[in-house]
Structure 1
Amino acid sequence: MTTSMPALSGYPRADGRKGIRNIVVVAYTVECAHHVARLIVNAFPGQEVHLIGFPGCYPNDYADKMMRRLITHPNVGAALIVSLGCESFNRVGLEEEAAAADRPVHTITIQNNSGTRTSVADGVEWVRWALESLAPQRRVPMAPHELVVATICGGSDSTSGITANPAVGVAFDQLVAAGAACIFEETGELVGCEFHMKRRAATPELGDAIVACVDKAARYYTVLGHGSFAPGNADGGLTTQEEKSLGAYAKSGASPISGILKPGDQPAGGGLYLLDVVPDGEVRFGFPNISDNAEIVELIACGAHLTLFTTGRGSVVGSAISPVIKVCANPATYERLSEDMDVNAGRILTGAASLQEVGGEIVDLVARVANGEKSCSEALGHQEFILTYKQFEAAAGPGCFPLKAA
């Protein structure tokens, strides 16, 4: 089945993808360069200059892959890399990755550039040049199958699973039917739903891999001695992990599941994908993700142009690189935090709107934001970003990812 959606437009990239934003990223490669990078970004208030970075001196394969995917994201038009100079992060490889993707790129090494003041001045000069270089670029038509949409929930309460989450599920079904790639995740919050997902898998092998993926998450939390259930969830009326899982699962809609991704993997085409965010191997990194924004960053690294963020208790975060659209589940929360919320799914609870109507509104808003309209978090200047250490195996297995169409 196919369905139509509003016309889209984006900025063409050399690799054939299109971006819905045309930003300059300033990327630091160690915490020691964070302050200098932030001062450079602060020189461009209200402009499309975003700060990202990795704090560790010693990167691992995960962190390196994530940074490479992020600076070549289709929403990124140019990249400035800020290095201290003695960290182990492969800044040369990062610059080569951006150059190979036909992005204007420049590296400032603070130790070789006379320190803070000179590095900030040189960075500001380069970013100003990059903005001027990007300014003449114009949008071109963008097909629905070129769009990647992600979803996450944060600050869930007892209304999340009956309003915002299933409304996003309705939107996902419409987007998938139109040809878009849609990504859902939070395997630690899908415990108990694995066999429901198995029945929706495109192949039997994928179904088995989904079960194994959720089993891994369950083992991970068992070793840590906690589940993905916060005090705020209980305060909001959720009673069990299973109840929260069923609500989180509703965001995926009812479309067949096309494959499993790991952070930084790109969808092979349109369809619904599950992102495995729980590290592989020995449990060693503490929490699988220390905040919602860590998962948003992983979704962006998979190519997500924007993220649908459902919340019952309320969350105000946005993200660097890709816009965040807030879908509020609770009508009382929407009333308190209306300036931070994009969609009032709580109207479903009061009878003012149906699930299908709110799902359609979300699809319409996705198109408007993709075409340049700012989401609430964007308009308020939210550009949160966090990247930490993780460990993943190189591939999820041959049954987990469909081949690209010939």
Structure 2
Amino acid sequence: MTSSIMGYQRKDGRKGIRNTIVVAYLVECAHFVATEIAQEFRDQDVQVIGFPGCFPNEYAQVMMERLCTHPNVAGALLVSLGCESFNKPRLHNAVEASGRPVNTLVIQMNKGTAKSIAAGRAWVKDALDQVADVPRAPMAMSELVVGTICGGSDGTSGISGNPAAGKAFDLLVEQGAACIFEETGELIGCEEVMAARAETPELGDELRAAVAKAAHYYDTLGYGSFAAGNATGGLSTIEEKSLGAYVKSGASPISGLIKPGDVPPRGGLYLMDVVPDGEVRFGFPNISDNAEIVEMIASGAHLTLFVTGRGSVVGSAISPVIKICANPDTWNAMSDDMDVNAGAIIEGQATLDQVGREIYDTVVNVATGQPTKSEALGHREFILTYKSFDPIGPACLPAA
């Protein structure tokens, strides 16, 4: 398989498949101003991201640094109220060091809302003109990072959409891409199966420990990652849901375990541990699909495969989301929001291999510039909250 992808060549050496300007608020008090700035450029690739908290959090700081220097990002406008605790000079310097245009707009120093919006729009307009000349360069499949997630799962997810995504992952890994699957809280019961696929026994132990941590996290919360909609859709237990979620990882060996913001060092298959380290604390929320997409983007994902049975309409800021619909009834009801009809497997109109190939081809098409359904509709969801993670150990990346 040959790649026809022409990436945007960044000065830090990486390549992107989009050329996005992000308007990043650094506290919730600056969210409105950031949104009003970006609204002026609704039909252009200008997207709002941000961290709402006022108290500093190293996880959020690192996430914002990774996101504002993501390969798909061409430049960043940082919008600050002025008195929040976010370390804006550190973020500004990180973006500047990557060779991207960056500006920090402080509302309290810019005479308030209206003048800040006007100044922000003027900067974004100039930045768009500047990044229009970013050079393009051939991009190999081995330079691509792809995430996968499932949400709104039902009884069809594990027999059509998720295994088809797994087939696509196997094709991508074969071509040298880095593929990330996640949500250890939805892999409870699959830890031994995953450990058997690990490249080393030590990595296998790390995979087991990550799932055990997730089980403790949800036990402390008093509920698991199992929603009423899952039960209505035909799932009965977290173990049953886990089996369906697991198969989207495909059959390739597992090359490593990463945490949000860790960039895979090479091609291969990686599990992302999204459950916070340490004891469960107030303010560290239950896991959500949109937050997990953001975390995979922070780890370099150029795009994300999103498998759904019940139906989901979300996209994401920065990186495109490809919707894979597992349920033929949902496809018939919501095809305007879906990119791939994996329900055709259930109806006997296609095989797992055929839909897996279709997903792979869709990845290539989107990477070459074709918008996904969520992109075309204007979906740019984004969530970033408080969390805390310990650094990964050497056993987590045995072949780094």
Common topology (TM > 0.5):
yes
Cα distance in structure 2, aligned partners of 1:93 and 1:222: 37
Cα distance in structure 2, aligned partners of 1:255 and 1:277: 21
Counting aligned pairs with the same residue, the percent is: 67
Q: Specify which of 379, 389, 397 is matched with residue 393 of structure 2.
A: 397
Cα distance in structure 2, aligned partners of 1:286 and 1:211: 26
Equivalent residue, structure 2, for 1:352 = 349
- Structure 1 position 403, deviation (Å): 4.5
Equivalent residue, structure 2, for 1:320 = 317
Deviates more, 1:133-142 or 1:73-82: 133-142
Cα distance in structure 1, aligned partners of 2:284 and 2:57: 17
- Does residue 50 (structure 1) correspond to residue 47 (structure 2)? The answer is yes
Q: Specify which of 279, 283, 292 is matched with residue 282 of structure 1.
A: 279
8 A contact 2:283–2:386 mirrored in 1: no
Structure 2 unmatched runs, 5+: none
Equivalent residue, structure 2, for 1:370 = 367
Task: Give the TM-score of the pair, scaled to structure 2.
Answer: 0.99
- Structure 1 position 288, deviation (Å): 4.9
- Structure 1 position 6, deviation (Å): 3.7
SS in structure 2 at match of 1:97: helix
- Structure 1 position 116, deviation (Å): 0.6
Which amino acid in 2 is paired with 1:389?
Y
Cα distance in structure 2, aligned partners of 1:332 and 1:109: 49
Cα distance in structure 2, aligned partners of 1:367 and 1:5: 10
Runs of 4+ in 1 over 2 A off after TM superposition: 4-7, 136-139, 285-291
8 A contact 1:285–1:389 mirrored in 2: no
1:229-288 CA distances to partner (integer Å, 9 max, x unpaired)?
A: 000000000111111000000000000000011000000100000000000001114665
8 A contact 1:293–1:319 mirrored in 2: yes
Cα distance in structure 2, aligned partners of 1:89 and 1:341: 37
1:138-181 CA distances to partner (integer Å, 9 max, x unpaired)?
A: 42100111000000000000000000000000000000000000
SS in structure 2 at match of 1:207: helix
8 A contact 2:284–2:385 mirrored in 1: no
Task: Give the TM-score of the pair, scaled to structure 1.
Answer: 0.97
8 A contact 2:284–2:386 mirrored in 1: no
- Within 5 Å, which residues of 2 pair with 1:177-196? 177-196=174-193
Which amino acid in 2 is paired with 1:131?
L
SS in structure 2 at match of 1:274: strand
Length, aligned pairs only: 400
Change over 3 Å in CA distance of 1:286–1:238 after alignment to 2: farther
Equivalent residue, structure 2, for 1:382 = 379
Which amino acid in 1 is paired with 2:111?
S
Cα distance in structure 2, aligned partners of 1:287 and 1:158: 30
Q: Specify which of 102, 109, 120 is matched with residue 112 of structure 1.
A: 109
Equivalent residue, structure 1, for 2:203 = 206
- Structure 1 position 291, deviation (Å): 2.5
8 A contact 1:70–1:300 mirrored in 2: yes
Q: Specify which of 35, 40, 44 is matched with residue 38 of structure 1.
A: 35
Cα distance in structure 2, aligned partners of 1:171 and 1:85: 46
Deviates more, 1:287-296 or 1:51-60: 287-296
Cα distance in structure 1, aligned partners of 2:336 and 2:398: 41
8 A contact 1:10–1:141 mirrored in 2: yes
- Structure 1 position 5, deviation (Å): 4.7
8 A contact 1:289–1:295 mirrored in 2: no
Q: Specify which of 131, 137, 140 is matched with residue 137 of structure 2.
A: 140
Structure 1 unmatched runs, 5+: none
- Structure 1 position 289, deviation (Å): 4.0
- Structure 1 position 398, deviation (Å): 1.1
